[in-house]
Amino acid sequence: MDKIRAVLSPDEIIEPSDPNYSKESQVWAAHKDKHPQLVARPKSVESLSKLLKALNETNIEFDVRCGGCGSASSSGVLISMSAFDGFEFNKKEEYVTVGAGQLWRHVDAKVEENAPGYSVVGARCTYVGVGGSVLQGGVSWMSSEYGLASDPQNMLDVQVVKMNGDALWASEDPDLLWALRGGGGRFAVATAFKFRAHKYPQKVYSGMILYPREALSALAKAVPKFADENTDPKVAMHFYCLDMTNGAFVGQPSVPGLGLLIYDAHGEEHGRETFKWALDIPGATDTTAGMSYRQVNQLSGECSLPCAIRGQTNQMFTAVVIPKVTEDLVNRTWNWYDQTLADEPRLNAGTIVLIEIMQKEAFHSSGGRTSTAWPRADGRHILQIGSGSLAKNNTPEIHRKGVDALAECGKAILDDYSVKNCLPRDFEEFHDPVQMFGENVDKLREIKKRVDPNGRLQGAYTI
């Protein structure tokens, strides 16, 4: 540890007694906190290079933290990337260069201010980190039109530092750039991204339409109909359960309602006509309005898992790409949800269901299964499932129930569930990365061995 301290300046070292320690080391899921002995916050590529080279020559455990909704932690050194917060807009060539250590809310605000008339394919929630989300695919409201954030047409290049200390733009090593497009952070540490800036509408119609639970039958019929009929890449929707987590935190009974988070980049007049069917369902409460793209992403931060509960729940997720939404699928999803909470009511702080209505282009715009590290599932929409409990109430028994419920959810809801259709964003014990990366596994192993021969960058998975 003294050797690590020696390559950093004093203001790049955060000890457990430092007031900034919690902010720079906090995990999303409380059970994954390893309480690092030291947080390193390098402020330049040169400093990060020295740090990684030193770590490469030791056996000290370490991990790399972007600061979003991941749970990177380490019993040794945790590298916080929060100082990599730059932003530049090249209007002539229509791309932005973004520091990898930021949250998407920082990028959204900078794009709105410095690149008016443009947007980038980034995360749909403001609290998601840039580095972690993009290296694991990156799903956006714009994905139905432009594909995933890591696709070649969106993620143009990545500045990285390898474990031997070499800094480069990954385009200098095409195989490494390929691996970073969905393969995660096991190959090098990303410090900056070049993203294509797309000219995009600046006034979007969005917001929540809330319903009582009694509306499930009507929504189970209407949502699949909309999913089948909507072919507009600028129109999308999320179908949520509400509101388990808040009830758990204040000690109130968890009585879930329902919600649609709707999205229409054509604007409010078009959107109100497009979603008239949803507004007309009995019991609907309309909170929709015209807003900026940045404000749309802020809504996702407020209506799902707000930053206020960061580190206070034992949260686990799985997200499956599915080809079609049906009435039976909706009913099976909510049956799983109800049964999970009936079997273990203390899982009410993290058990959620969410169906994301998208277009096929989201997962079929990269050029084929071998064009990026993650082969892409043969589907269109996303079934997202969460499970978890309050950290203060957690026991090994409750945690085991949460893991088992999440592991079984796909089989309970889908007739043809397979881990190969799961997004490479979640790696719980039942997510087999060999299945997830399929025919690309051998190439990923070869690249890993070449760029990190000591196997020091662990990332979220091992293959």
CATH of the domain at 429: 3.40.462.20
Beta bridge partners of 38: 77
pLDDT score for 280: 98
pLDDT band at 304, cuts 50/70/90?
Answer: very low
What pLDDT digit, counting tens, does each position of 276-291 carry? 999 999 999 999 999 9
**In the structure encoding, which two tokens stand for residue 243, read together?**
């509101």
* Final residue in a domain of this structure, among 80, 109, 132: 80
List the domain range (segments joined by +) for residue 334. Answer: 204-434
The 8-class DSSP code of residue 322 comes to: E
**pLDDT-derived band of residue 268, with 50, 70 and 90 as boundaries?**
very high
Residue 329: which H helix or E strand, with range? Answer: helix 327-343
pLDDT of residue 72 exceeding 80:
yes
Instruction: Look at residue 449 and tell me if it is in a domain.
Output: no
| pLDDT score of 251 more than 70 | no
Predicted pLDDT at 378? 84
Q: Which helix (H) or strand (E) holds 330?
A: helix 327-343
pLDDT at 243: 59
Q: What is the dihedral of CA 354, 425, 232, 277, to 10 degrees?
A: 10
Q: Which of 153 and 301 is assigned the larger pLDDT?
A: 153
pLDDT of residue 254 exceeding 90, the answer is no
Q: Which helix (H) or strand (E) holds 160?
A: strand 155-161
Residue 446 falls within a domain, yes or no?
no
Which of 46, 80, 114 lies at the terminal end of a domain, its last residue? 80
pLDDT of residue 303: 47
Comparing 309 with 195, which gets the higher pLDDT? 195
Instruction: Indicate whether 311 and 405 sit together in one domain.
Output: yes
Residues 378, 287: one domain? yes
> Which pLDDT band, with edges at 50, 70 and 90, does 348 fall under?
confident
The share of the chain scoring above pLDDT 90, in percent, equals 85
The pLDDT confidence band at residue 73, using thresholds 50, 70 and 90, is very high
CB neighbour list of residue 161: distance below 8 Å, 6 or more residues apart = 45, 48, 49, 52, 167, 188, 189, 191
Q: Is residue 124 situated within a structural domain?
A: yes
Count of domains for the chain: 3
Does the structure show a pLDDT above 60 at 246? Answer: no
231 and 193 assigned to the same domain:
no
Q: Please say which residue of 37, 54, 80 terminates a domain.
A: 80
**Mean pLDDT across the chain:** 93
In this prediction, residue 311 has a pLDDT band, given cuts at 50, 70 and 90, of confident
Do 195 and 208 lie in one domain? The reply is no
Lookup: tokens for 280: 């007309």
* 230 shares its domain with 109: no
For 32-61, what is the mean pLDDT? 97
Q: Clarify whether residues 100 and 165 are in a common domain.
A: yes
Same domain, 179 and 310: no
Does residue 263 belong to any structural domain of this protein?
yes
Report residue 350's pLDDT band, with 50, 70 and 90 as the boundaries. confident
Residue 68 has a pLDDT of 87
Q: Are residues 276 and 154 in the same domain?
A: no
pLDDT category at 49 given cuts 50, 70, 90 is very high
φ, ψ (nearest 5 deg) of residue 224: -60, -35
- Statement to judge: residues 147 and 262 lie in one domain: no
Cα–Cα distance between 329 and 322 in angstroms, integer? 10
List pLDDT tens digits, range 207-221.
999 999 999 999 999
Phi, psi of 410 (to 5 degrees): -60, -45
Do 309 and 190 have their domain in common?
no
| CATH at residue 52 | 3.30.43.10
- CA gap 137, 424 in Å, rounded: 7
Do 73 and 94 share a domain, yes or no?
no
Mean pLDDT of all residues in 54-66 = 95
**pLDDT at 302 (0 to 100):** 52
- Provide the pLDDT for residue 249: 55
165 and 260, same structural domain? Answer: no
Whether 266 is in a domain gets the answer yes
> How many CB atoms are closer than 10 A to CB 56?
17
What would the mean pLDDT of 314-325 be, rounded to a whole number?
A: 94
Rounded-to-integer distance, Cα 384 and Cα 378, Å: 16
CATH number at residue 94: 3.30.465.10
Where helices occur in 74-215 by DSSP H, the ranges are 104-114, 130-135, 143-146, 174-180
- Between residues 378 and 156, which one has the greater pLDDT? 156
Q: What is the pTM of this model?
A: 0.94
Per-residue confidence band for 310, with pLDDT thresholds at 50, 70 and 90: confident
